[in-house]
Structure 1
Amino acid sequence: MVVARRLATFVAAVAIALFASVSSTTTAEAAANVRFSYVQYNSPGSDYGSNYSLNQEYIKIKNYGAKAKQLKGWTVRDAAGHVYTFGYLNLKPGATVTLHTGKGSNTVKHRYWKQTWYIWNNDGDKAVLKNSRGVTLDACKWGSSGSAKAC
């Protein structure tokens, strides 16, 4: 009887450990399917701070996975500590959302940081994407040449 209980306890512990391992791997892999695809860090023309110019500075986030991902609570941040937090947004498979620096009306394809000055540094910066638990899912870094980069 004691041996049977110990064996049952052992089997249950192994099953829980295997499920937790498979579950966390699946979650991590699914989350990694959402990542940066492109950044326009230097808006065309002079940096004079108009809303039009600010919105020409943007970063694109794409769902490369086969399942929709809910981005509520996810963040995009730069090296200087500016943070954008997503509200409710269900990003469908293959879909891209563009995060603009300036002001505008949020849609499923376009989100607006509502800043009054540029976020991304033209001479080099780093964008970081984190999920709602604060786990870093992706980063895109650039130097001083050019004005845009595929991530």
Structure 2
Amino acid sequence: MRTRSLLMGAALAAGVVVVSQPAHAAGPAIQITKIYYDSPGSPDFGANSSLNGEYVRINNMTRKAVSLKGWTLRDKTNRADHVYTFGAFTLGAGKTVTVRTGKGRNTTTTLYWGRSGGTLAYIWNQVKDTAYVRNASGKLVDSCSYNSTRADYKVC
């Protein structure tokens, strides 16, 4: 502490203003920003349009593109069939990708899990669940949980 006081005193004597700011913890570079877990309409019978009403939005919060190849998105059930593995996909700097549960044609902004088969094809529980994104090494990058019967989605 004595050394720091001497350095600050010398800086002040030289006319230099020293401003100390608290360190802020940076959030993850890749973040889950929204889970739409209760697709529109009632009842949900597993039609592709209903399955695609269920989705997770993932954002790249950095200024650099990030390759998501081998990364996974999963729910809390930890069932093997509830894991989406990203293929060769790069999420641009500051960009968003939406991962929809049903089938469709992948684009630079929307990917499809490819699930079908009625009510058992849904991934996200309608009341309580957690989404996890892990990198290709299996390290947890981000997660988002919800526990609500009052909304159809969660902003993370």
**TM-score normalized by the length of structure 1:** 0.78
Q: Does 1:42 align with 2:47?
A: no
Q: Secondary structure at the match of 2:49?
A: helix
Letter matched to residue 124 of structure 1: K
- Would the aligned equivalents of 1:30 and 1:65 in 2 still touch at CA under 8 Å? no
Q: How many residues align?
A: 123
Aligned residue number for residue 15 of structure 1: none
Q: Identity of paired residues, percent?
A: 46
Aligned residue number for residue 14 of structure 1: none
Q: Does 1:143 align with 2:147?
A: yes
In the TM superposition, what whole-angstrom CA distance separates every residue of 1:36-58 from its partner, at most 9, and x where no partner exists? 01110000112111000100100
- Would the aligned equivalents of 1:102 and 1:113 in 2 still touch at CA under 8 Å? yes
In the TM superposition, what whole-angstrom CA distance separates every residue of 1:65-94 from its partner, at most 9, and x where no partner exists? 111100000000101121000001111111
Aligned residue number for residue 16 of structure 1: none
Aligned residue number for residue 12 of structure 1: none
Q: Does 1:119 align with 2:128?
A: no
Residue 31 of structure 1 and its aligned partner are, at CA, apart by 9.2
2-structure distance, mates of 1:123, 1:111: 24
Q: Secondary structure at the match of 1:66?
A: coil
Q: Does 1:102 align with 2:98?
A: no
Go from structure 1 to structure 2 and tell me whether the alpha carbon gap of 1:31 and 1:90 turns closer, same or farther (over 3 Å shift): farther
Name which one, 1 or 2, has greater alpha-carbon Rg. Answer: 2
1-structure distance, mates of 2:66, 2:28: 11
Residue 123 of structure 1 and its aligned partner are, at CA, apart by 1.3
What CA RMSD, in Å, does the superposition of the two structures yield over aligned residues?
A: 1.6
Aligned residue number for residue 78 of structure 1: 75
Runs (4 or more) in structure 1 with deviation over 6 Å come to none
- Would the aligned equivalents of 1:31 and 1:137 in 2 still touch at CA under 8 Å? no
Residue 126 of structure 1 and its aligned partner are, at CA, apart by 0.3
**TM-score normalized by the length of structure 2:** 0.75
Gaps of 5+ in 1: 1-28
